[in-house]
Structure 1
């Protein structure tokens, strides 16, 4: 259930939404969990950003980027330098937006581990949702390394994975991972709109397929299966609304609390 400014959203003309956002909206409407927003604008911007996260995950999956531990990190040295601990540091004089976009355009020049890949996806989603000049200002000192990220990449931690939606970051835990393959102690993933997950190194799979893949990397004779963690993360969508371009061209109709509204998106 979706609640806007204290009133239930009972009908919304979703025909003007992009297909991906429409799918996310319909799943929100069918959810048994109440989701509250201060305004319709806040709700629509979240739909938009969730769509951008899913798109970025699919783009990275097709980019040719490879999986590697920190010791074997690779990057395009026209945009980045590799730190002594395997991070990727933005070069002086390079625009952050150009460096992030290069990862998706020239993925074969990059090799990273899974947590870094998730953070890259989130940066890309933010870039595609706000004014590019604002992105460059917010993330002028980009460093890509594990779960270390710029303080302006606002991420919220949630505790009930049953409430997770497309565009959220989840984690498959592998408690009995083999010490020979410590990088398979788990898999950070993006939940996609079709209920599947994208994880760097394992690609796009269902939940059962993610678990089966991780179970191949356990200690011998283990009886502890990998599993989906109950906690998850999501972008602080509403924080980024202040940095968007603000261009609107399509009008949709919504009924909130019994009253009809025309809204530009």
Structure 2
């Protein structure tokens, strides 16, 4: 359910189109309360979630490969490999380095949790002022679920997923640790993007993970009842749009 604190009325549904309308209707239909200070803050969430979905599809088309840390790769013009991940070079801007992942994906290899963090960074870059992005995320270290505190990812229990959420398909009988599960962006009803598997329905995601189980496995992969989201209220203060 949507509640706008400083307004007696919501946003007229007729004013929304395409994916913004779809996201709005999912927020409104949810049993969870989505509370906003102003209508502009709500519009920011619609745009941010759209940008998450767009970044997921851009990564899917980028030719970045799925890889463990041992065999991973990042463009050395922007990133330096260390013991805990890839550190932003001091002579480049965070915005340029994040864009490069999506523009030159053939130079990158990483696993699915790193993919989700990079998707979140790209969506935030497309949603806030670039100068603020470069200030907030100077000195980035990227790998797995390592991320700057200003990215402000919130993970909660629940199974009411909204487009732009990140969910997790757990694979308890995995053969290799890298296939313990698959993080995925919600793209629509029963439509997900997971780096290394692609754009699939939930049954297709589970079927793919089930091919990556150890010999004699008896437990199927399944979708966990949890989701990860960005803190809209915090990021809204840096919005590049004047509403």
Q: Unaligned stretches of 5+ in structure 1?
A: 249-265
Q: Deviations over 1:68-115 (max 9, x none)?
A: 100011111111111145x21111110100000011000001111111
Structure 1's 94 and 216: CA in aligned 2 closer, same or farther, altered over 3 A?
A: same
Please tell me whether residue 175 in structure 1 is matched to residue 200 in structure 2: no
Deviation at 1:194, TM superposition (A): 4.3
| Counterpart position of 2:3 | 3
Which residue matches 1:256?
none
Q: Distance in 2 between matches of 1:52 and 1:119?
A: 13
The correspondence of residues 43-54 of structure 1 with structure 2, limited to 5 A, is 43-54=42-53
Kindly state the Cα deviation for residue 223 of structure 1 after the two structures are TM-superposed: 1.9
- State the match for 1:214 in structure 2: 209
Write the mapping of 1:172-251 to structure 2, written as runs, cut at 5 A. 172-178=169-175, 181-248=176-243
Compute the RMSD of aligned alpha carbons. Answer: 1.8
Give me the whole-angstrom Cα distance separating, in 1, the residues matched to 2:127 and 2:190: 23
- Determine the structure 2 residue equivalent to 1:105: 103
TM-score normalised by structure 2 residue count: 0.93
1:31 positional shift: 3.6
Return 5+ residue gaps in structure 2 as ranges: none
User: The residue matched to 2:188 in structure 1 has which SS?
Assistant: coil
Please report the TM-score for the alignment, with normalisation by the length of structure 1.
0.86
- Secondary structure at the aligned position of 1:164 is classed as coil
Question: Contact conserved, 1:54 with 1:193, CA < 8 A, in 2?
Answer: no
Contact 2:6–2:38, Cα closer than 8 Å, also in 1:
no
Contact 1:158 / 1:233 at 8 angstroms: preserved in 2? yes
Mapped partners of 2:239, 2:7: distance in 1: 26
User: What are the within-5 Å matches in structure 2 for residues 42-191 of structure 1?
Assistant: 42-85=41-84, 87-160=85-158, 162-178=159-175, 181-191=176-186
- After superposition, give the CA deviation of every residue in 1:10-50 in whole Å (9 maximum; x if it has no partner): 661444x4622222113333445443323212211111111
